[in-house]
Amino acid sequence: MTRNIIFFVLFFSICTLFAEHVVVRFDNPSDEIISKFTANEYDVASYKPGEYLDIVVPMDEYNDLLESGYSVRITQTEEQLKVNLNSGTDLAGYRDYEEFLAELQQIEIDYPDICKLYDIGDSWGKIYSDNGNTNYDDFQHEIWALKISDNVELEEDEPGIYYLAEHHAREPISLEVVMTVLEHILDNYGTDPAITDNINNQQVWFVPLVNPNGHKVVTDEVETMWRKNIRDNNENGSLNVTGYNPSDGVDPNRNYDWEWGGASTSWTSETYQGPSAFSEPETQAVQELMAAHHFVAGLSYHSYSELILYPFGYADGVIAPDQAALSELCTDMAVTISGQYGGTYTPQASWALYPCTGTTDDYAYGMYGIFSYTIELATEFIPPAYQVEDICLNNIEASMIMLDRTSHSILLGHVTDSDSGLPIQAEIFVAGIDDTGVYRNPYISDQEFGTYYRLLTDGVYDVSFQAYGYEAQTFENVIITSDDQTVLDVVLSNGSATASVSGVISDANTGLPIENAVVELLDYGIPAVTTNAQGEYTINNVFEYSYDMQIYADDYASIQIQVDITEQTTELDFDLYELDDGTFESGVLGGCWVFGGNADWQIDPTVAYEGFLSIRSGSIGDNQNSDIEVSLYVANEDEISFSRKVSSEADYDYLKFYIDGELQDLWSGNEDWSVQTYPVTAGVHTFQWSYVKDGGVANGSDCGWIDNILLPTSAIMVSPSILDFLSIEDCIDGKSFVINNNFDVPVTMNDITQTGSVFEWYIDDFNLELPYILEAGEELEFLVKVALTTENRSREILSENLIISTDNGNKYVTINFDETLNVGTEDNPLVFETEFYGNYPNPFNPSTTFKFSLRSNSQVELNIYNIKGQLVKTLINKELQAGFHSVIWNGENNSGKPATSGIYFSIVDAYNEGLDFTSIKKVILLK
Ligand SMILES: [Zn+2]
């Protein structure tokens, strides 16, 4: 009996021993070792190029590495880190959550004029405990932010700077450094002129403990190698952070939403990226802070490596547009920080170290252009307590360089409206910077103040300011110097929508024009147009601007492209590629496919789900990807299906499927063909298949395959999808359209519903008996005529619909009567009623169109009055003929000055012998 118990205890302690984590070091690692051991499945502690690579592993994996012949040595153990945490002497060492919070609260009391403490979010522990789970009662931590500025209660028109620390639990030295920086500022505010100026003229935010739950796991020595937060991944309601493969926690520094999704998808991984971007309260808190304040630059502290990293970092070779200025500030800071054993910190682009996705810096810079840096402090996760003060003091100068960065080599100013003087959100484009490197969001002046800040290197730049509805302005030879700020306040004037774009849409293979292709300038409410029989389109009366333009047609891959419409008339022709049938049996990958990543997908003649051919991902190396995508217009709610097969390293190399950039599914390991189906909404969508590898191991054929893609089509295809009735002949002669059952099953047409409140339409010679079985592939042609009743001949018809219901999952097709019916001809004069239709758009800015019709020739006045009843503008005062009329108001009053924002009234008066007609409509001018 006693012997059994002893045996059991011994066995248990051996398990614990092997689950103990250690840092192991590869000295002078080869490229092969770097590539293998910086992959997602490894917990990389530090990498110093040319010196060493450190990874964290359980003890028994260390033994495995030795047995596999790797030359590694242990540099840090949990035992040693515990000793480092608690010096056992009178040294301060590391503070815990309670001490940290008490200090922040005391600071707020001691410096009420310049400090304000904010609770910016609950940790998971707080959330779980609030939900009644007592296992988390010791983890009821908040995420705290301290703001330092004069007028600290106000959001002022000033740049923001941030100092963040301890995203990673086992890096408490970062908290110590940021608290030291904070104390240094407070000690010197009011006496040091530079620090005083920088606090008075900036808004400085400190979040010294981003991950308070994880911090407690480390400071309580539950698991001193813990990195993540404590998200309850396995939902067992209790903390799982110890042992061999603890299941809880997300790595907050892999959870930000810029190129999120490339880090580990495994709960047990120390770099688990979370179930979705910004799934974690810690990253949400920082995100909300960034969104609410106009940050220009900031530091996020980690340990260890004695490095400073600047964005981007999400993939190899992702050079930031601001690389020169980012790197200059990085070096300026790095050379001031002494290393623990000589030398100074190393400045480096983040991607050049090893790629990782979802980081703070990539998000801050990609989203807002914030010059965000990671400082990797010290030479071990938790340096011994006696080194803490030294490391903190060594970092002050760099933090003050950051604090002072907006005082020089910067372009800043306000962008305002020439009429109202109000701020404008304009894009600030610096030539030679913003047209280089990989994508980040454009710099936009802020909404509240119209302020912008651009950190640059010294030199001479051409800078453009552009906002929708305004005339763009370019300033040449703007001088930036290291002595001072360069201030450039910009006033933009309203533009006029006189530009137009036109061109021809053709089939890329045949060169023939495509009729009924849709061309659209996105985001600004500009109506789409369709091509005529010659493939021609024209969009008139738009502002000169840089637009996203979308072109699509049935059975063709769509295109979305950014176009600059800068001339009065811009000619843009496009070729569309017809969609492949998705079986790949032709042996050709047509032009509708767009390849991305490091290798193209190819036809594979050796494997197929059906038939003989499929497509497979290209051959790629570590940390690479091979993408294929197609974009198309989907007329009605539908689905996409395809067969997929994968052969890869399980849980690390994946075949992934995305719709519009949103991950739908991912597969790894050895999985045979299976059919996948996903719902798709109406509209233009992009479908992407991507094979993605991390570093290191490759297994199986190391690729993914796709076959039998059934791209979404409507249950019933209707062409053309829009019927234009542009003339009376169109109404009388009718327009034909074709219904085609593109499903491979029959569809029952149950009902044909007629709608249309102000006019009648009918399908000529309609003689189908309902319900009608529309066989797979069957085509029906219909002729639609529009009958105008006498009393309704003057009506405008907008987007009335013909709806054909079917019983197949309630799918239906809609045909848009998308044009106005207001044209008579000599042979068929239309009899109009006298009516005032008001203006469109309404509210409007900068111009709007009034429409009215007259039954007979009349004397007409159309006047605009303000809300006090004062006449603002006379648009018409003359005799007009019977028929349809329209007039544009450009928002100017009778003196040619722009009218102010607000409510107006438009009044139409029409008289003749038999008529005295008056109608009043409200008009809203919005600026
Ligand atoms: Zn870290």
Per-residue tokens: 425: 């959100």
| Whole-Å CA distances, 725 to 68, 476, 753 | 77, 50, 20
pLDDT on residue 713:
65
The rounded Å distance from CA 88 to ligand 1 centre is 26
Please say which residue of 54, 85, 116 terminates a domain: 85
Q: Which DSSP helix (H) or strand (E) runs through 531?
A: none
Kindly state whether residues 402 and 435 are assigned to the same domain: no
CA of 609 to the centre of ligand 1 (A): 45
pLDDT of residue 770: 61
Ligand 1 centroid–CA 214 distance in Å is 12
The CA 732 to ligand 1 mean position distance, Å, reads: 73
Total count of domains within the chain: 7
CATH classification at residue 237: 3.40.630.10
Residues 873 and 769 in one domain: no
Residue 422 token pair: 């109000």
For residue 846, tell me if it sits in a domain. Answer: yes
Please identify, among 817, 844, 877, the residue that sits at the C-terminal boundary of a domain: 817
Residue 169 has a pLDDT of: 96
* 175 CA → ligand 1 middle, Å: 12
**126, burial (CB in 10 Å: exposed 0-12, middle 13-18, buried 19+):** buried
Query: 155 CA to middle of ligand 1, Å?
Result: 31
Q: Ligand 1: distance of its center to the CA of 97 in Å?
A: 18
Judge if 165 and 112 occupy the same domain: yes
Q: Read off the tokens for 786.
A: 């529009």
Closest CA to 713 of 636, 781, 643, 773: 636
* 881 CA → ligand 1 middle, Å: 77
Give me the pLDDT at residue 834, please: 83
- Contact present, 225 and 78 (Cβ < 8 Å): yes
Give me ligand 1 centre to Cα 60, in Å: 24
Helix pair 212-219, 97-110: axis angle to 10 deg: 130
Give the distance (Å) from ligand 1 centre to CA of residue 273: 14
Ligand 1 centre to CA of 805 (Å) is 57
Distance 346 CA to ligand 1 centre (A): 16
Q: How far is the CA of 303 from the centre of ligand 1 (A)?
A: 6
- C-alpha 213 to ligand 1 mean position (Å): 15
Å from CA of 78 to ligand 1 middle: 17
Same domain, 423 and 400: no
Distance 19 CA to ligand 1 centre (A): 22
147 shares a domain with 255: yes
| 3 state SS for 710-739 | ECCCCCEEEECCEECCCCHHHHHHCEEEEE
For residue 826, the CA-to-ligand 1 centroid distance in Å is: 79
Ligand 1 center to 328 CA (angstroms): 23
Q: Is 765 domain-assigned?
A: yes
Pair (446, 328) in one structural domain: no
650 within some domain? yes
CA 814 to each of CA 634, 798, 804: distance values in angstroms, whole numbers, following the listed order: 12, 14, 7
CA of 894 to the centre of ligand 1 (A): 65
* Max CA separation in the chain (angstroms): 120
Long-range contacts of 66-72 (CB under 8 A, 24+ apart): 70/26, 70/33, 71/26, 71/27, 72/24, 72/25, 72/26
In a shared domain, residues 212 and 335: yes
For residue 737, is it within any domain? Answer: yes
Claim to verify: residue 456 and residue 479 sit in the same structural domain:
yes
How far apart are the CA of 171 and the centre of ligand 1, in A?
6
The residue ranges of DSSP E strands in 262-396, in sequence order, are 295-303, 307-310, 346-349, 371-377
Residue 516: the pLDDT is 85
685, part of any domain: yes
* Range of the structural domain that residue 745 is part of: 716-817
Question: Which of 377, 406, 435 finishes a domain?
Answer: 406
**In a 3-state reduction of DSSP, which class is residue 12?**
helix
The amino acid that residue 33 corresponds to is: I
| Paired tokens of 501 | 């774009």
Tell how far the Cα of 185 is from the centroid of ligand 1, in angstroms.
Answer: 24
> Separation of 301 CA from ligand 1 center, angstroms?
7
Q: Cα of 317 to ligand 1 centre, how many Å?
A: 22
257 with 358: CB under 8 angstroms? yes
| Å from CA of 377 to ligand 1 middle | 9
Cα–ligand 1 centroid distance for 440 (angstroms): 24
Residues 207 and 329 placed together within one structural domain of the fold:
yes
CATH number for 739: 2.60.40
Q: What is the whole-number distance in angstroms between the Cα of residue 644 and the centre of ligand 1?
A: 37
CATH number at residue 610: 2.60.120
Q: How remote is the CA of residue 77 from the centroid of ligand 1, in Å? A: 17
Round to whole Å and give the CA distance between 632 and 686.
Answer: 7
CA of 253 to the centre of ligand 1 (A): 7
CA 31 – ligand 1 centroid, Å:
23
In angstroms, what is the span from residue 252 Cα to ligand 1's centroid?
9
CA 668 / ligand 1 centre spacing (Å): 28
- Pairing label, strands 545-552, 559-565: antiparallel
Compute, in angstroms, the gap from residue 311 CA to the centroid of ligand 1.
15
pLDDT along the chain (927 residues), means of 10: 39 51 92 85 86 90 90 89 66 82 97 97 96 96 98 96 97 97 97 97 98 95 93 94 90 95 87 93 97 97 96 93 98 97 95 91 98 96 91 97 97 96 96 95 95 97 95 95 96 90 94 91 87 92 90 90 83 92 86 91 92 93 89 81 92 91 90 93 90 78 92 64 60 69 64 41 53 75 58 38 45 46 48 78 87 86 90 93 82 91 91 86 87
* CA 374 / ligand 1 centre spacing (Å): 9
| Beta carbons within 8 Å of 195's beta carbon, 6+ residues apart | 185, 188, 189, 400, 403
- What one-character-per-residue DSSP string does 878-890 give? EEE-SEEEEEEE-
Q: Could you tell me the distance, in angstroms and rounded to a whole number, from the CA of residue 107 to the centre of ligand 1?
A: 27
Distance 223 CA to ligand 1 centre (A): 16
Q: Supply the CATH number for residue 72's domain.
A: 3.30.70.340
> In sequence order, what are the beta bridge partners of 401?
none
Ligand 1 mean position to 896 CA, how many Å? 62
- Cα(116) to centroid of ligand 1, in Å? 27
Residue carrying structure tokens 């009366």:
541
Classify strands 160-165 and 295-303 as parallel, antiparallel or unpaired. Answer: parallel
32 alpha carbon to ligand 1 midpoint, in Å? Answer: 24
Q: Output the CA–CA distances (angstroms, integers) from residue 339 to 172, 304, 334, 390, 638, in the order listed.
A: 18, 11, 10, 10, 60
Cβ atoms of 198 and 211 within 8 Å: the answer is no
CA distance 150 to 158: 11
- Could you tell me the distance, in angstroms and rounded to a whole number, from the CA of residue 94 to the centre of ligand 1? 17
Is 581 within the bounds of a domain?
Answer: no
pLDDT at res. 73: 92
825 CA to centre of ligand 1 in angstroms: 75
CA of 694 to the centre of ligand 1 (A): 20
Task: Measure 680 CA to ligand 1 centroid, in angstroms.
Answer: 39
Helices (runs of H) and strands (runs of E) counted in the chain? 16, 54
Residue 662 lies in a domain: yes
Q: Based on the fold, state whether residues 904 and 855 are members of the same structural domain.
A: yes
- Domain of 879, CATH number, reads 2.60.40.4070
**Two tokens at 116?**
């304000």
Give residues whose Cβ lies within 5 Å of ion ligand 1. 168, 171, 302
Q: Are residues 487 and 607 in the same domain?
A: no
pLDDT at 839: 86
User: In angstroms, what is the span from residue 184 Cα to ligand 1's centroid?
Assistant: 24
Cα 337 to ligand 1 centroid, rounded to whole Å = 18
Backbone angles phi, psi at 430, to 5 degrees: -105, 115
Q: How far apart are CA 875 and CA 855, in angstroms?
A: 20
Residue closest to 910 by CA, chosen among 902, 919, 901 = 919
Please provide the size of the chain in residues: 927
Q: How far is the CA of 48 from the centre of ligand 1 (A)?
A: 15
CA of 142 to the centre of ligand 1 (A): 20
Cα–Cα distance for residue pair 198/190, rounded to 1 Å:
11
103 alpha carbon – ligand 1 mean position (Å): 24
User: What's the 167 CA to ligand 1 centre distance in angstroms?
Assistant: 6
Cα 401 to ligand 1 centroid, rounded to whole Å: 22
Cα of 169 to ligand 1 centre, how many Å? 8
302 Cα–ligand 1 center, Å: 4
- 168 CA from centroid of ligand 1 (Å): 5
Residue 783 lies in a domain: yes
Instruction: Give the pLDDT confidence score for residue 849 in this predicted structure.
Output: 85
CATH number of the domain to which 539 belongs = 2.60.40.1120
On whether both 396 and 418 belong to a single domain, the answer is no
